[in-house]
A and B are shown apart, each in its own frame.
Chain A
Amino acid sequence: MKFLIVVLVALASVAWADEKCDILTRLKFKSQWNRAYSHGHSREDFAEAIWRAIFAQAPSARDKFKRVHGEDTSHPAFKAHSLRVLAGFDIAINLLDQTDALKAELDHLEEQHKGRNIPDNYFDAFETALLHVAPAQLGRCWDKEAWKECTELIIHGIEGH
């Protein structure tokens, strides 16, 4: 009997650990994101730092952003674009604890990215950039694993696979 309980507890904890970006992780990510997302100038700079880090990893990704002056990350048109991207990401993160609404938002974002032939590694570059800039922006109290798991959940939703 004792053995059975031990096995059951072990199985349960494996199942728990297996679920990435679980509800508590989502809440943690959400609150840390809101601190990092910040406001005003600081938000603009946060967005630009992320895009610089993306283009540092994948310089060819700039070509996808010709329409919004991707050649210069400090161009007003590109700044506006980068803030729009973060705004979309922000909506998705804030809906992480409302599954249906999250699904609708991710479907919407997937629709917007469809047909642009965005290779997976550009999405990877976004994730890496976010995970490098976020701790610099937060300065303290950040859970890398939580950010990684939940960012991947959102990105996979946008990629559609």
Chain B
Amino acid sequence: GRGQHSAPSGSERSVVGCNSIIAMWYLLLLAGLAAASAPAPEPSFKERRLQYIVTNQNLHVDKLFDDIKSLEKKFSKLGGDVDLKKVRHIKARVSNLEGDGCEGEHEAQCGGDVPECISDLFFCDGHKDCKNGGDEDPDTCSEAIAHVGSSYTGLASWSSCEQHQPHHAVVVITSSHREDDFQPRILVKGVLTLEVDEESHIVKTTQLSGYYNFGQRELVLDPFGEKTTGNYGVRCEFNLGDDDHADCEIVIPSSLHVCAHFNAERH
């Protein structure tokens, strides 16, 4: 402060003000020193009692917290809710056993509360044919199953046609296309791979061509092309309530005679 007031422009008034501020700081400093040297006052009995009660209450809350924790532990040991996927699978299996009540080869169920069958030539063609619109439902018309790159794998067990031990079978979708004027099918091409011998890694592959049928939720693939080494077709029914699991058969294309069976899962 001093340097500022040594300036020639300093007036009488400001010099007085400055002096009084310095005096005040000095007094404050003295008071602070006095306070520091004095002993802290004992808390009164009343205050201690209050502290006692507060501490007590906190301990009480802590105990409740522990009780709740052990209750939660007990509860978690009771087993969780059932996985929604599992529920869907079970519902699908039950409804498979119930049957859909559709008679004709080409009829499929509309779903919903009131049973109704319509031709699978009318599913997902943009025209509502079911009374409840079930044939144009976005879930029903999901193209996910026939997406290029989709692959379905399972352990094939042969009941006729070949003498193979159970081995892996893989179906891979390599192309898919939907005609503008006829939407109820997705035309697909794919490859069937049979890992016949695990030791020598002999793999049989068959080029496939076929379609996905929205109404029946069925993927139908037959051998195609000249470079084919096998002569089997594949039929997969996605009847487990989602797009990731199917019930597949390896068949002789001409007669649809079932040679082998595998439960396929998307990979």
Residues of A at under 8 Å CB distance from B?
Answer: 40-42, 45-46, 48-49, 52-54, 56-57, 74, 125, 128-129, 132-133, 135-137, 139-141
Contact = CB atoms under 8 A, between A and B. Distances in A.
Contacts of B98: none
B127 A52 contact: yes
A52 B213 CA distance: 17
B194 interface: no
Contacts of B211: 135-136
Given A49-B184, A136-B120, 8 more contacts: A53-B181, A129-B182, A132-B179, A135-B211, A137-B106, A139-B220, A140-B253, A141-B254
B119 interface: yes
Nearest to B118: A45
Contacts of B106: 42, 45, 137
B40 to A, nearest CB: 94
Contact of A129 (B119, B127, B181): B181
A124 B179 CA distance: 15
B245 interface: no
Contacts of A129: 181-182
A48 B180 CA distance: 16
B222 interface: yes
B188 to A, nearest CB: 12
Interface string B174-210: 0000011110110000000000000000000000000
Interface string B90-127: 00000000000000111100000000000111100101
A140 B220 contact: yes
A22 B193 CA distance: 37
A29 to B, nearest CB: 17
Contact of A132 (B105, B120, B182): B182
B256 interface: yes
A57 B211 CA distance: 21
Contacts of B233: 140
Nearest to B216: A139
For A42, A48, A136, A137, which residue has the most chain B Cβ atoms within 10 angstroms? A136
Contacts of B180: 56-57
B119 A45 contact: yes
A39 B10 CA distance: 118
B119 to A, nearest CB: 4
B169 to A, nearest CB: 20
Contact of B256 (A41, A128, A132, A140): A140
Nearest to A57: B181
Contacts of B105: 42
B182 A45 contact: no
Interface string B227-267: 00000010000000000000000000110100000000000
A158 B107 CA distance: 33
A55 to B, nearest CB: 9
Contact of A46 (B107, B121, B129, B253): B121
Interface in B55-90: none
